[in-house]
Structure formats: C-alpha cells, structure tokens
Amino acid sequence: MLVVVVALVVALFLVAPILIVVPMSFSTAISFQFPPPGYWLGYYVRYFTGTEWLEPTLNSVVIALGATGLTMALVVPASFGYVRFRFRGKSFVNLLIMAPLVVPHVVSALAYYGFLARLRLNGTHLGVIVAHGVLAVPLAFLVITATLKGFDRNLERAAMSSGAGPLATFFHVTLPVLRPGMLVGALFAFLSSFNEAVVALFIAGRGAATLPKKMYESIRLESDPVIAVVSTLLVTTVAIGVLVSVLARGRESGAA
Amino acid sequence: MGAAYLKLTGLVKSYDGRTNAVDGIDLDVARGEFVTLLGPSGSGKTTTLMMIAGFEEPTRGSIELDGEDLGRRKPYERNIGVVFQSYALFPHMTVAKNVAFPLRMRRFPAARQASRVREILDLVELGSFADKYPRELSGGQQQRVALARGLVFNPDVLLLDEPLGALDKSLREQMQVELKRIHREVGVTMLYVTHDQTEAMTMSDRIAVFNGGALEQVAPPLEVYHRPRTRFVGEFIGDSNFFSGRRDGERPGLVLLDGIGAHRVARAAWDEIAGSTVDVLIRPERIQLAGEGDEARLPNRVSMKVGVIVNYGDSVLVIGETDGHPLRMRIAGAQPDAIREGATVTVGWGPADAHLIRRD
C-alpha cells in the first residue's frame, strides 16, 4: 500500500510540471500565469493560422524524417555486421558508435557548427539532418542490435531449406520478423531529432529553424503563450509515439 | 542393407583448423530408412546434420544423395527438409502459410498448394489449426507444424535436430509414436539427431552412435544394446555393469575378471575375440538371484552386498557391490524378500548373458 502511494507521488512529481502546460495552453492570459484567469482557444488559432509557428513545425518534421532515414541507413547494416560477425576491434567499434550518446550535446553542437560551416551547410535542412542523424545512431543501434540478438537464426535456415534464396529469405522472413524492433528504432531516431534543441540552436540558423529552437527564441524574447500550445502538442505527439512503440513491442513478444 | 541413398564419406568439419568437431564420418543410409544420430552434446552429430542440410560447409569429405555430390549445392538448392528443436516457425505467418512456404518458394500452382497443405496438415492432425498463429499453439502442436513444413514438399531426406528436446516427457513419448507413424505413412528417409537413448531405441531402424566427432557403431537398436562394439556405446546406451578382464588362453570359454575370478562366457564370443584383454558387459536385467540347483543355468556367481534399492513398480533396481566392484541388478516384478538393504545375496548369470568387447 505504502509502495503504491510513494510510486504515485513520484509519478506526480515527474509528470505534473509537464502536464501543467496543458491548462496553460487554453489560458486567456497574455503571458504565463498559473492558474489561468480564463480559458479560450485563441492561442491554438494563432498557432495554426500563421507561418510563424507552422514553418518551424514543418522544418522539424522534415528534418526528423530525414534524420530517421539517415540513421536507419547507417544503423541497419551496421547492426547486422556487428551482431552476426566476429572481427578485430569489435568493442572499439561499439564504443565509436556509442560516442554521440556520451559526448555533451553542446560539444557536438560546436563541432558540427565548425564542420558544417566549411561545407556551407549551416542553416540548411541537410546540415541539421546530418547532425541529428548521427546523434540518433546510438539509440537506434541499441534497439536494433538487441532485436537482432534475440532473432533465432534457425528461422533463416528453415526458410533456406524450404527453398528460399538469400533475398527471398531476407524479405519473407528476416525483415518481417525484425520489423517491430526496426520500427521502434526508427521511432527513437525520429523523436530524438524532433526534440533536439541544443545542436539545432547552433546550426539551424534562420533557414532551417526547428520547433525547439523557435520555442527557445520565443520565450527569451517575448514569452508568447503559444509556447504552451506547442508544448501541449509536443507532449501529445511524444506520448502517442511511445504508446505505439509499446504496442509494437507487445505484438512482437506475442502478447496478442 | 540396400544401395546407399545418402552417402557420407570421410566427412570432416573443423572450425578452428586445429580440432575437428566432426572427425571422419562414413555413413550409408538407405532410401526410406530412419537413422538416429545419437551421442552426448558436442559429439558432432548436429554439425553432421547441418552439413547435410548445407548450412555448414565440410572441411573435407563428401556428401552424396542418390549418386549425386551435394557439395556444390546451396541449402535452398537441395531438396532436404529440416526440423529444429526451437521449431523455427515463422511467427508472422499462420500455420497454413508456414506450411505453404516451401511450396510458394518452389512456385507450385496456388490450387495445388492449398490442397497439399490441407493434406499434410491432416497427416499431422492439425487440420483445424490452419488459420492460427504459431504463438497460439502448444509446443507439441508447433513441432507438428514444423514437421508438416519439412515434409510438405516431398523432400528427399528429412533432417530432425532434437525435435522433441523442448517437450515434456509424456508429450515426448506421444510424439515418438507419432513420428514413427508418419515415417511409416510417408516413407521419407529420416535422419534424427538426439542425445536421448530412449528416443533412439524406440524409433530407429539403425542408430549411429557418435563420440568425439567419430562414429563408434552403426547398427539396429537391439544390436547396439546387446552387442555394443565399444565400451562407450555399452555405457551410453542402457544401464550397464562393466568388468575388465583377460581371456584365459589355456581354457576356452573362460574369462578372468579383475578381482572376481574366472567366469564362463559363450564359446562363440570367446573365439571371436582375438585379443587377450577384454571388457565384459553384463546388463543389469541379465543378473538374477541364484539358488541351489540352478548352477547349470547360472554358472557364474558372485555374492552381492545390497546397497540401495530403487522400486519402479514394474521392476526393482538393486545397486550394490561385489568385492568392491559396483554391481547393478534389475529384477522384473515385485521386490523379492531376500533383497533388503545391507543383506548379502548370491547372484548369477549365464554364459550367454555376458558380452565381450575387445580392449586395445
């Protein structure tokens, strides 16, 4: 009983500051104020009717999709190689792949800033996609190698003895069985880019400003209550994403 | 034994170039035969199976099927079915789709696929499970699906790698009978890997006993049981009493057992063994309580000190010793009055009950 109470208090402590933005997004106050003096949908209208917020939203979506594509293109072959083959320097490779996870984002951001400046990619979508794609590599790698390690290779043998060549085996058996894990890996990559602020602040510039960057600038300059709207939408999106990933894993483990 | 259908010649597999996991296997299997590869884990039986399936490449030696060398053929170009211990059913396909998969890959016409799938599912008695997913089935049912998938395309050979290993005991016995029936009905050549001697005894036409990557003996189950070619085979299969001894060159038919003295064995067996040092195997069920007047029947006698008595209901296993040698005796039926813990009884066996193995 006590355990349940403590757990609820902790959960509340963790979640409440996030959920508080939900009522604030419907607030009539011209600045942040809690509790709200009244409720309306005015700030939602403002979010959805001007390019001021919609453009960074679109930028964020485009960049997150591009980064996810890049991450998966790097991670899927790397995971197969890493899990299925033995080679010299394997643990070093693992360390290298995990590096973006341990290097402070602000350090990465500075490095990308200098690097992308030489390629003239600062302030472009491509530049942010490259940076975000690399940052998401360790997350997707962790998920996908775990899925691959749990994969029974006898499935592939069974397919081959059934008369399926290497390609047919991959597309009929390996890929469908690994799909849920791959989707979770892709989702992590997408969210990691969609939520990323520090690197975006450094390199996105005007041209490729993402939602988190726009929010940061907005709160610094004007405390626009639309931020509460954006936050609410973000929290909802992420919650849906996590829910989808949990459901996908449930299906994968055969809970259905 | 008819002409060899599947022929393994000098088969060697080495993973590291120094030690051989499979160390020179020669084995001929007739068409339609059920051969069990039996041995402890790590004895090379599964590796041999994987080479026949094409999943592992032999380091040396050849595999021929119906006179044709399989060496150049990829697994998917061989017409060989495989059943795994882990079932290896495709989790994203229904039972029917799993079973149809080999037909799909071989581009059978759709109508032919459907009727063949129904036919084979009826054979394994899973006709009503066609639209279920593997995760909705029990272990035994999943293994039947795997069996159906391995058989559906009429393979030349069906390989089974410890297929009952993951099932509990009663289900395992049920599936043994089932497998035997399916083998009889389909008539496909089967190679069956197991470390369970009971499975090997009950199902096989012949047993190939593996030890350390090599074959110790290939023979029908009863011959392997009663006439093991090596001490390893005698100890691995069934319960056993082994004595070391020497053949008495002066007195034909007599063997001197270390610490127990001279014992009479069948003359033919005595003649057959050319060497002088021998291992003598006496199965526990061949040893009996000996009494007055049956010296002719049981000329070999020792006094046995009874240690532990294990009652199975239909038989009694008596574990004891004679002059420091461990001795096991199995008596059919109920426990006789004379057998009590700590008692000393006279037991004996006939000349034909001992099996001689030459020791080099």
Reported as a single tens digit per residue, the pLDDT across B67-97 is 999 988 999 999 999 999 999 999 999 999 9
Secondary structure, 3-state, chain A: CHHHHHHHHHHHHHHHHHHCHHHHHCECCCCCCCCCCCECCHHHHHHHHCHHHHHHHHHHHHHHHHHHHHHHHHHHHHHHHHHHCCCCCHHHHHHHHHHHHHCCHHHHHHHHHHHHHHCCCCCCHHHHHHHHHHHHHHHHHHHHHHHHHCCCCHHHHHHHHCCCCHHHHHHHHHHHHHHHHHHHHHHHHHHHHHHCCHHHHHHCCCCCCCHHHHHHHHHHHCCCCHHHHHHHHHHHHHHHHHHHHHHHHHHHCCCC
**Cβ–Cβ under 8 Å, residues B227 and B209:** no
A157·B53 Cβ contact <8 A:
yes
Could you say which of B53, B55, B88 has the minimum Cβ distance to residue A155? B88
Helices A90-102, A51-84: crossing angle, 10 deg rounding = 160
Could you tell me if B209 and B244 lie in one domain? no
In chain A, residues with a C-beta closer than 8 Å to the C-beta of B76 are 160-165, 169
Count residue pairs from A and B with Cβ separation < 8 A: 66
In the predicted structure, residue B187 carries a pLDDT above the cut 90: yes
Could you tell me if B255 and B193 lie in one domain? no
B135·A254 Cβ contact <8 A:
yes
In chain A, residues with a C-beta closer than 8 Å to the C-beta of B88 are 152, 154-155, 157-158
pLDDT given for residue A240 in this prediction = 87
Q: Alpha-carbon distance A11 to A19, whole Å?
A: 12
Q: Alpha-carbon distance B3 to B279, whole Å?
A: 34
Ranges of residues in chain A with a pLDDT under 70 are: 249-256
B84·A168 Cβ contact <8 A:
no
Q: Greater confidence, B248 or A161?
A: A161
Q: Alpha-carbon distance A123 to A209, whole Å?
A: 8
In chain B, residues with a C-beta closer than 8 Å to the C-beta of A164 are 76, 101, 105
In chain A, residues with a C-beta closer than 8 Å to the C-beta of B78 are 161
A177·B101 Cβ contact <8 A:
no
Say how many C-beta atoms besides its own lie within 10 A of residue A168's C-beta. 17
Q: Alpha-carbon distance B304 to B325, whole Å?
A: 10
Could you tell me if B225 and B300 lie in one domain? no
Q: What are phi and psi of B243, to 5 degrees?
A: -120, 140
- Burial pattern B273-288, b for ≥16 Cβ within 10 A else e, equals beeeebbbbbbbbbbb
Task: Establish if A175 touches chain B: CB-CB under 8 angstroms.
Answer: no
Cβ contacts of residue B232 below 8 Å, gap of 6+? B209, B211, B216
pLDDT given for residue A256 in this prediction = 36
Most distant pair of Cα atoms in chain B: their distance: 77
Q: Which of A10-14, B232-236, B293-297 has the lowest mean pLDDT?
A: B293-297
Domain boundary among B231, B248, B272: B231
Could you tell me if B12 and B88 lie in one domain? yes
Nearest-CA distance A147 → chain B (Å): 14
Rounded mean pLDDT of B336-344?
89
Using 50, 70 and 90 to split pLDDT, how confident is the model at B1? Answer: very low
Q: Alpha-carbon distance B353 to B356, whole Å?
A: 10
CATH code assigned at B195:
3.40.50.300
pLDDT given for residue B107 in this prediction = 92
Tokens for B329?
Answer: 């005796």
Could you tell me if B271 and B181 lie in one domain? no
Domain span including residue B96: 4-231
B82·A165 Cβ contact <8 A:
no
Q: What percent of chain B has pLDDT over 70?
A: 99
- ipTM of the predicted assembly exceeds 0.90: no
Could you tell me if B156 and B196 lie in one domain? yes
Mutate to test the interface with A, among B15, B51, B84, B103 (most CBs of A within 10 A): B84
Rounded mean pLDDT of B30-54?
95
pLDDT given for residue B148 in this prediction = 96
In chain A, residues with a C-beta closer than 8 Å to the C-beta of B89 are 158
pLDDT given for residue B269 in this prediction = 83
Could you tell me if B23 and B134 lie in one domain? yes
Could you tell me if B52 and B158 lie in one domain? yes
pLDDT given for residue A255 in this prediction = 38
B105·A155 Cβ contact <8 A:
no
pLDDT given for residue A69 in this prediction = 97
Q: Alpha-carbon distance B111 to B3, whole Å?
A: 37
pLDDT given for residue B109 in this prediction = 93
Give how many domains chain B has, as a whole number: 2
Closest-CA residue of B relative to A168 is: B105
In the predicted structure, residue B131 carries a pLDDT above the cut 70: yes
47-106 in A: which are within 8 Å (CB) of B? none
Could you say which of B53, B90, B92 has the minimum Cβ distance to residue A161? B53
Domain boundary among B172, B205, B231: B231
Residue entry with tokens 């590796």: B47
Domain boundary among B211, B231, B251: B231
Could you tell me if B206 and B258 lie in one domain? no
Q: Alpha-carbon distance A244 to A248, whole Å?
A: 6
Using 50, 70 and 90 to split pLDDT, how confident is the model at B295? Answer: confident
**What integer best gives the mean pLDDT of chain A?**
90
Whose CA is closest to B206, among B60, B16, B36, B15?
Answer: B36
**What integer best gives the mean pLDDT of chain B?**
92
The CATH number of A54-255, from 3.30.750.24, 2.40.440.10, 1.10.10.10, 1.10.3720.10, is 1.10.3720.10
Could you tell me if B133 and B244 lie in one domain? no
- Burial pattern B131-162, b for ≥16 Cβ within 10 A else e, equals eebbeebeebbbbbbbbbbbbbbebbbbbbbb
Task: Establish if B150 touches chain A: CB-CB under 8 angstroms.
Answer: yes
121-160 in A: which are within 8 Å (CB) of B? 152, 154-155, 157-160
| DSSP 8-class letter at B44 | S
In chain B, residues with a C-beta closer than 8 Å to the C-beta of A168 are 105
In chain B, residues with a C-beta closer than 8 Å to the C-beta of A152 are 86, 88
A158·B90 Cβ contact <8 A:
yes
Q: Where are the domains of chain A?
A: 54-255
Reported as a single tens digit per residue, the pLDDT across B206-229 is 999 999 999 999 999 999 999 999
Rounded mean pLDDT of B29-54?
95
Q: What are phi and psi of A121, to 5 degrees?
A: -110, 0
In the predicted structure, residue B267 carries a pLDDT above the cut 90: no
In chain B, residues with a C-beta closer than 8 Å to the C-beta of A150 are none
A158·B80 Cβ contact <8 A:
no
Task: Establish if B72 touches chain A: CB-CB under 8 angstroms.
Answer: no
Helix (H) or strand (E) holding B98: helix B95-105
Closest-CA residue of B relative to A151 is: B88
Could you tell me if B320 and B297 lie in one domain? yes
Mutate to test the interface with B, among A151, A161, A173 (most CBs of B within 10 A): A161
CATH code assigned at B320:
2.40.50.140
pLDDT given for residue A250 in this prediction = 67
Could you tell me if B262 and B291 lie in one domain? yes
